Amino acid sequence: MRTVILYLLMVCLVQATAGFVFEDLPSVKELIREYGYDQDLTLEELKEFSEKKKSLKLANKVEEYAEYIPNSRPIIAILTQPRTESPPYNSYIMAAYAKFVFQAGGRVIPLHWDNSLENITDTLKSVNGVIITGGDQVIQDPISLIFSDYTNRVKFVLDQAKEINDEGSYFPVWAICQGFEQLSIIEGPEYGRLSHATAKNIPRKLEFVRDENGEIIRGRIYKEMSDDLTKALEAKEIAFHNNEFRLDPFAYKYDVGLKAYNVLAYSRDRDGRPMVASIEHKDYPIYSNQWHPEKNSFVWKETIPVPHSKLALQLTQYMSDFFVTECRKNTHKYGTPEEERSAIIENHPVEVTDGSAADIYLFY
Ligand SMILES: *[C@@H]1O[C@H](CO)[C@@H](O)[C@H](O)[C@H]1NC(C)=O
């Protein structure tokens, strides 16, 4: 913490102005300017400076801002998925999701989907955000629509995340592909029904939602994305999809639960049918994509057309920077460095597979 510089503080504050608890804070830089001092400085220097100036106003701000100093050691939980093919291991995480976090300076712990609810609740209090991954689980009975045990766990994690936010910690969630589908049926029980999609293993263009002036509504997810990259996403097929289901755009117009989200982008399946592609919650830092932000840089199976162009790699990097930066906004951590070390994903074996999952971490 000691070495956190004001620059990072500013980055955090600028990025945070999109919403949530950060909204009304004035810029620290403006305050510092007011006092005739304008350079990067640590929180300690900022404190010293306010004392030297005997400024109560600045001292109060220091206190206030201390809460929002970006956490420089983000640890993100990734929910494991059931797997029966590799006994004695019974759950797994595709390594691409972990690498996605690593490349933005975060670390990863596995959140065992079948652990007790108490264990999951407690674990979430030690980490800075959570990822619900893609996969090929049965998420719901197709006739009765009853959720699978796995989807019920995703619901529990989502509820816990909202509760942590309600209690005052900024706690982000990122749900990808199957995670997006689970989020849709959990949050939109009325209209969040999934339809069939022909979008297995295919990169697609994105169609961003625009305002009445034709400007892209960037929301928080796409706020910092360069114009080059947003243009490329619309013009080229670099958003990699691997889904057999889709959520029809109309669901977001009518479902009371899904109205809590803004849709930022759509895509189309092989038959041209529209799919909701990117959403973010209006009040919580909950983000979700039908497509895979993580595969472009990390999945290399020859027969699958994962894009590896320079722009495609920039997309993966941008998305991981976005999410890990979100996770820097709370100060959850493990009680001791030993607990932290024994929790991280590197304690577990990796298996190189021949499938589209590429390499996977395995767990008991
Ligand atoms: C949760 O369970 C895991 C084992 O799956 C254990 O390593 C961890 O310490 C438990 N965490 C809490 C907070 O109980």
Which is the catalytic residue, given 177, 241, 281, 327?
177
Question: Would you report the helix, strand and coil content of the chain in percent, each value rounded to 5?
Answer: 35, 20, 40
Distance 134 CA to ligand 1 centre (A): 23
Same-domain status, 279 and 256: yes
- The answer to whether the beta carbons of residues 349 and 358 sit under 8 Å apart is no
In sign, the C-alpha dihedral spanning 182, 187, 189, 195 is negative
Structural domain boundaries enclosing 282: 75-347
Span from the CA of 72 to the centroid of ligand 1 (angstroms): 24
User: Residue 56: what pLDDT?
Assistant: 78
Same domain, 118 and 144: yes
Tell me which of 42, 66, 90 is where a domain ends.
66
Q: What is the pLDDT of residue 1?
A: 45
The reported pTM is 0.85
Same domain for 34 and 133?
Answer: no
**Per-residue pLDDT in tens (0 to 9) along the chain, 364 residues:** 444 444 444 444 444 433 334 434 456 666 666 766 655 566 677 778 778 878 777 777 776 666 556 788 999 999 999 998 889 999 999 999 999 999 999 999 999 999 999 999 999 999 999 999 999 999 999 889 999 999 999 999 999 999 999 998 999 999 999 999 999 999 997 777 899 999 999 999 999 999 999 999 999 999 999 999 999 999 999 999 999 999 999 888 888 899 999 999 999 999 999 999 999 999 999 999 999 999 999 999 999 999 999 999 999 999 999 999 999 888 899 999 999 999 999 999 999 988 777 899 999 9
pLDDT of 24: 43
Ligand 1 center to residue 171 CA distance, Å?
Answer: 20
* Residue appearing with tokens 């894009």: 307
**Is the domain of 48 the same as that of 97?**
no
Beta-bridge partners for 15:
none
Q: What is d(CA 312, CA 176) in angstroms, rounded to the nearest whole number?
A: 17
What's the confidence (pLDDT) of residue 25?
A: 47
For ligand 1, is residue 140 a contact (CB within 6 Å)? no
Shared domain for 203 and 166, answered yes or no, is: yes
Same structural domain for residues 85 and 52? no
Bridge partner residues of 292 (DSSP): 240
Measured CA to CA, the distance from residue 9 to residue 6 in angstroms comes to 5
- Flag whether 199 is in a domain: yes
Asked whether residue 317 falls in the same domain as residue 203, the answer is yes
Instruction: Report yes or no on 297 lying in a domain.
Output: yes
* Residue in 363, 355, 317 with CA at minimum distance from that of residue 102: 317
Bridge partners for 194 per DSSP: 247
Give yes or no for a cis peptide into 88 (omega within 30° of 0). Answer: yes
pLDDT of residue 355: 78
Beta bridge mates, 204? 239
Atom number, ligand 1, closest to the C-alpha of residue 122? 13
Residue 196 appears among annotated catalytic residues: no
pLDDT at 27 (0 to 100): 60
Distance 123 CA to ligand 1 centre (A): 7
* Position 354 in a domain: no
Domain-ending residue, one of 19, 42, 66 = 66
Q: Please give the pLDDT value at position 310.
A: 96
Tell me if 337 is assigned to some domain.
yes
Are residue 45 and residue 116 in the same domain, yes or no?
A: no
Ligand 1 centroid–CA 115 distance in Å is 8
- Residue 347 Cβ inside 6 Å of ligand 1? The answer reads no
Give yes or no: residues 49 and 93 share one domain: no
Q: Write down the pLDDT at residue 50.
A: 79
* Structural domain count of the chain: 2
- Residue 59 in contact with residue 50, Cβ under 8 Å? yes
The pLDDT assigned to 52 comes to 82
Same-domain status, 31 and 95 = no
CATH no. for residue 184?
A: 3.40.50.880
**Has residue 362 been placed in a domain?**
no
Beta strands per DSSP E along the chain: 75-79, 81-82, 91-94, 107-111, 129-132, 173-176, 194-204, 207-208, 239-247, 261-268, 274-281, 286-289, 350-352, 359-363
Is 241 an annotated catalytic residue? Answer: no
d(CA 202, CA 246): 14
311 in a domain, yes or no?
yes
Nearest Cα residue to atom 1 of ligand 1? 119
Residues 45, 110, single domain; the answer is no
Q: 121: Cβ below 6 Å to ligand 1?
A: no
Q: Is 359 among the domain residues?
A: no
Pocket test for ligand 1, best of 117, 119, 157 (most atoms within 8 A of CB): 119
Q: 206 lies in a domain? A: yes
User: Where does a domain end: 45, 66, 87?
Assistant: 66
Residues 294 and 169 in one domain: yes
Pick from 358, 340, 342: which is nearest to 128 by CA?
340
